[in-house]
Amino acid sequence: MLQREAVLQVEAGADYVDVNVGTFVDQEEALMRWAVEMIQDGTEVPLCIDSADPNVVEAGLQACRKRAIVNSISGERSRFDDLIGIVKKHDTAVIGLTMDDSGIPEDAEGLVEKGGALLENLLAQGVSAADIYLDPLVRPVSTGPGVGLIVIRAIERLKRTFEDVQVVCGLSNISYGLPRRSLLNGAFLVAAVSAGLDAAILDPLDGSLMGLLRAAEAVLGHDAYCLDYIRAYRDGRL
C-alpha cells in the first residue's frame, strides 16, 4: 500500500515523497525507518522526512539512500537546537517554519520577520540558502477571512526580501473543514505560484489539482510555449 502510493505519486510528478507516520505516536521511530526503506525499495525519488520529533527525523535520515529534506525546523528554540545538528550531520535540505516560541505571526510582516530570523540562524550554522525552504504556515481559511491572503502576501515578500531562498507551503490546510477541498486547494495553489511559491506539499494524485497547476505554470510563463501543458494534455493528464 505505502510503496504503491509512493510509486503513484512519483509517476504523477512528485519531485520528493513526504514521509510522515505521525498518526502512530508510540511507534513513530520504528515506523519511519520501515516506511523509508519500503518507499526506497519501490522508487528512486528523494524523500522529505516529516516529523516534529528529532529522534524520528534522525531514524528516517539514517535509512535514506539519497540526500533528503527535513520537514521541519522552526525558530522555536528547542526545536531548532534539537534539529540543526541532525540537519548538518546528514547534510540535508530543510523546511523552516516562519514561527518561533512566541507562536505563529498573525500578519505577513510577522511571517517575513520570523522567516528572516530563522534564515539568518540557519545560514549562521552553515546551511546554504539553496537548501532552505521557508514555510509561511498555511492555516484554514474557515478560521478567518484574512488567513489565506496573509500567506500569499508573505510568499511575495519572502521571495522579494530573500532572493536566494525558496518558499514552500503545505497546501491542504487551507481548505480544512470546508467542502470541495480540491477546488480551494487549487485556487490557493495558483495564487501562491503567482506570488512566487517554489514548491508545495500536496497530493499529486489529485488530478484536477495537478491539471490546474500545469495550467498555472503555462499562463504564468514557467512553461515556455506551453510545451509541458500540451504534453500533459496528449498524455491524458489534464
**In the complex, minimum distance from the CB of residue 37 to its own copies, in angstroms, rounded to a whole number:** 38
Q: Phi and psi at residue 90, in whole multiples of 5°? A: -95, 5
**In the complex, minimum distance from the CB of residue 149 to its own copies, in angstroms, rounded to a whole number:** 4
**In the complex, minimum distance from the CB of residue 238 to its own copies, in angstroms, rounded to a whole number:** 5
- In angstroms, the CA 232 to CA 238 distance is 6
**In the complex, minimum distance from the CB of residue 234 to its own copies, in angstroms, rounded to a whole number:** 9
Residues that bind its own copies (CB under 8 A): 141-142, 144-149, 152, 174-175, 178-180, 183-184, 186-188, 190-191, 193-195, 211-212, 214-216, 218-221, 223-226, 229-230, 233, 238
Which is nearer to its own copies, 117 or 178 (by Cβ)?
A: 178
Which long-range CB contacts under 8 A does 205-209 form with residues at least 24 apart? 205/5, 205/8, 205/9, 205/12, 206/182, 207/237, 208/182, 209/182, 209/185
Instruction: Give, as one character, the DSSP assignment of residue 141.
Output: G
**In the complex, minimum distance from the CB of residue 220 to its own copies, in angstroms, rounded to a whole number:** 5
Which is nearer to its own copies, 58 or 156 (by Cβ)?
A: 156
- C-alpha grid cell, residue 154: 508573505
Which is nearer to its own copies, 126 or 236 (by Cβ)?
A: 236
* Helix H or strand E encompassing 19: strand 17-19
- In angstroms, the CA 141 to CA 78 distance is 29
Query: In sequence order, which residues have a C-beta less than 8 Å from that of residue 83 and are 6 or more positions away?
Result: 54, 57, 70, 73, 94
**In the complex, minimum distance from the CB of residue 99 to its own copies, in angstroms, rounded to a whole number:** 21
Which is nearer to its own copies, 8 or 187 (by Cβ)?
A: 187
Collapse the DSSP code of 222 into the 3-class scheme (helix H, G, I; strand E, B; otherwise coil) and give the result: coil
Which is nearer to its own copies, 94 or 210 (by Cβ)?
A: 210
**In the complex, minimum distance from the CB of residue 137 to its own copies, in angstroms, rounded to a whole number:** 15
- In angstroms, the CA 127 to CA 91 distance is 8
Which is nearer to its own copies, 115 or 148 (by Cβ)?
A: 148
Which is nearer to its own copies, 7 or 147 (by Cβ)?
A: 147
Q: CB count, 10 Å around CB of 128?
A: 10
One-letter amino acid of 59? A
